[in-house]
Amino acid sequence: MRIVAGSHKGSRIAAPKGTHTRPTSDRAREAVFNLIGPVDDAAVLDLFAGSGAMGLEALSRGAARCVFVESDRAACRVIRENLDRLRLTGAVVLCKDAFQALREEKAVGRTYELVLADPPYGLWEGLEERLGEAVAPVLAPDGLLVVETSARVEPALPLDLVTSRRYGSARITLFSR
């Protein structure tokens, strides 16, 4: 995997070993950022971060900061290693449950212009209702939520649907407040 664009275009990104993490493909990442548009100076929250590829891409494209949230310790280690290798600043890695992190971010009043959510495809049905409710308080008024699911799934969240597109076995859906 590589960073698609920005200051670190072409740089390799490591992914955690095993089958628990399914990194977003380069093609899908490029499509997501084409849909989103510029992320200059944005605050980004990367939930279910896995390898951190989406948040790393945002930082390479000019995001001011990114909070990576991942519950798997090995994946957190890989995200930190990617950040160190790329010398990217403005990043924090939280090795904890996404919903716990969302509660904590809400409690301190932090908001994000861009929230990225790429949970394991098989868990989406159980997360869908909770995720929309938990993300809304931390999504800035003009912010976007990007959800990656299996191509067969059409997410329905209590937010405004912006667009939904299929890219191979993945579906990328954008929501706003």
State both tokens at 165: 């597109």
pLDDT per residue as tens digits for the range 132-145: 899 999 999 999 99
Detail the DSSP E strand segments found in the chain.
43-47, 65-69, 91-94, 112-117, 139-150, 160-167, 170-176
Query: Is the pLDDT at 19 greater than 70, yes or no?
Result: no
CATH architecture label of 26-176: 3-Layer(aba) Sandwich (3.40)
pLDDT-derived band at 174, boundaries 50, 70, 90:
very high
Query: Is the pLDDT at 21 greater than 60, yes or no?
Result: no
Task: Please give the pLDDT value at position 11.
Answer: 80
Query: Is the pLDDT at 117 greater than 80, yes or no?
Result: yes
- pTM, full prediction: 0.93
Please give the DSSP secondary-structure letter assigned to residue 2.
B
Distance, in Å, from the CA atom of 35 to the CA atom of 48, rounded to the nearest integer, reads 21
Distance, in Å, from the CA atom of 173 to the CA atom of 155, rounded to the nearest integer, reads 7
Task: Please give the pLDDT value at position 163.
Answer: 96
Higher model confidence: residue 163 or residue 126?
163
Task: Please give the pLDDT value at position 159.
Answer: 94
Q: Across the chain, what does the average pLDDT equal?
A: 91
